[in-house]
Amino acid sequence: MEELYTLEREVGRGSYGVVFEGHMAKTGERLAIKRLPCSNPECIELYLQELWAMRVTAKNHPNVIALHSCLLQTGPRTLQSLRPGKLPLGLVESALKGSVVGAPQTEGEINSQSAAQQRAKSVLSRPKLQDRTNTGPARSTVTTYDAKTPQRPPQRPKKRPAQTGEEQPRPQRCLALWLLMEYCDGGDLNQYLLSRPLDTEQNHSIVQQLSRAVAFLHGLGISHRDLKPDNVLVCVSPTGPVVKVADFGLSKMSEGLLEGTQPRQHFSSTCGSDFYMAPEVWGGLSYTAQADIFSLGVMFWAILERITFKEEGTTQEQLGAYACKRHWLIPLGEALWENPSLQLNIPVKFKRAPPLPPPPSQAMCSLLLDMLASDPDARPFADQLEARVHSAIKEDSR
């Protein structure tokens, strides 16, 4: 690893892997290097989804994190590069079979395999039965040769010993998947915005960039399914922050695009983060990529009005809009699932601690209400969203 890349420090740790800051040994280019341990098939399936989505997006959009390359770790100090367009077949097999290919076998699996081998040996050692179906006269097996013209006797095919299970090599196990991505020096969106003073123009730029990123992903048939500030990274540039949608572990590719460019595949698994999940996901219903639009609406509202919360058991502030129920904060998706006719107050009516940004324009408030509609079909599609965001921000700047 050190010959190609150098790991400098850990910059993030999640449920599935660790992210390091590093650089390429030859060029010195900074990279984010993500290590995903391949310890169980459930995690491996998520890794393959992330790898596939990042390969599809490649380096084609400035607001989606770029994947430079992928490495497979097959030993303590053994890495091999995964060729572009290829998937690691051992990991695919692990995800399909529900067991890690090449992993040490359990005692039960070893005993079962030994019993199967013993049965195979007993079958091979039985005396062969004679074929009595041919009742005609026996044919001579002697071959005659002409003494004047020497001939080579016909060659007999060589008999190959039957291969047993013991002789077949086990597939090579992949210990970890390493994703080498572009490095974002501004941290995630929470860290970046909450560590800086309010800047309305900057907020507008971030909202526009996010709308373009999701329009790009949905145009490719990719549903992110876990949009939140933690999964948006920031690159600091002289012209302002450039945001990058990242972490595609829960993403799904649509099998087909219907209704123009809109992905309409339905999903059933409940996934995402509580404060950004759509009502239909909260309710356990089937849902489409329109659930991403709801998550984006929660983020937009929080960014534009600087709304934050602290999850139970944590002290870190996070950007996110919510509903209030007595003294409790309720995720918007949960509140709208319980009461689809709930009226959201946009802009926020109750008092919050200053300093506060100016309230969004009427056009922006209407857009946020549409994005946060309890009915998925009432939300704008991603390609429509980009134009509406641009129009609303234009009205805000007047």
Residue 354 burial (10 A CB sphere; 0-12, 13-18, 19+): exposed
Residues forming a β-bridge with 329: 324
Q: Give the contacts of 147 (CB within 8 A, at least 6 positions apart).
A: none
- Using alpha carbons, select from 281, 284, 304 the residue that is nearest to residue 223: 281
Q: Which two tokens mark 40?
A: 């169980």
What DSSP letter does each residue of 203-248 carry, written as one string?
Answer: HHHHHHHHHHHHHHHHHTTEE-S--SGGGEEEEEETTEEEEEE---
Give me the count of residues in the chain.
Answer: 398
- Using alpha carbons, select from 272, 309, 270 the residue that is nearest to residue 292: 272
Matching residue, tokens 């922050």: 241
Strand-strand pairing, 318-319 and 308-309:
antiparallel
Distance CA 370, CA 353 (A): 27
What DSSP letter does each residue of 108-175 carry, written as one string?
Answer: HHHHHHHHHHHHHHHHHTSPPPP-----SPPPP-PPP--SSS--PPPPPPPPPPPPPTTTSPPPPPP-
Q: To the nearest 10°, the Cα dihedral for 197, 198, 200, 206?
A: 70
Q: Which of 188, 226, 230, 247 is catalytic?
A: 226
Over its C-alpha atoms, the chain yields an Rg (Å, rounded) of: 30
Q: Which two tokens mark 33?
A: 């290097």
Active site residue 375: no
CA 300 to chain centre: 23
Residues forming a β-bridge with 184: none
Catalytic positions, written as ranges: 226
